[in-house]
Amino acid sequence: RKEVEQDPGPFNVPEGATVAFNCTYSNSASQSFFWYRQDCRKEPKLLMSVYSSGNEDGRFTAQLNRASQYISLLIRDSKLSDSATYLCVAISGTSYGKLTFGQGTILTVHP
């Protein structure tokens, strides 16, 4: 079983739609979680950290459920520029600094 699993999609949504991505992690010792965004043939860029209390950054909302080992990302009012691959990332609890990436969820927002 992969340490971080995501639904690969692809998700194809119209502009203005709300879309949600899910992610599960298997290592209960994982301490920190993030969502990264990766555009085609580019490096990943940090989108936001994920906190247990849930956090919001503009149109993006991230949630963490430690009991279920589940992470989510909600994007409201989708823009064309949101089209990318979204990567769920966990930091191992046993190896500080080691980022474990999920396989990514592909999002395409169309006019």
Partner 1 sequence: GAVVSQHPSRVICKSGTSVKIECRSLDFQATTMFWYRQFPKQSLMLMATSNEGSKATYEQGVEKDKFLINHASLTLSTLTVTSAHPEDSSFYICSASASSYNEQFFGPGTRLTVL
Q: Interface residues with partner 1 (CB under 8 A)? A: 41-46, 87, 96-104
By beta-carbon proximity to partner 1, the closer residue of 31 and 65 is: 31
Residues facing 33 on adjacent strands: 50, 90
What minimum distance in Å lies between the beta carbon of 61 and partner 1? 21
Give CA–CA dist 109/80, Å, rounded: 5
What minimum distance in Å lies between the beta carbon of 42 and partner 1? 7
By beta-carbon proximity to partner 1, the closer residue of 17 and 49 is: 49
Q: Within 10 A of 110 (CB to CB), how many other CB atoms are there?
A: 11
By beta-carbon proximity to partner 1, the closer residue of 12 and 18 is: 12
- Residue 89: in which H helix or E strand, if any? strand 84-91
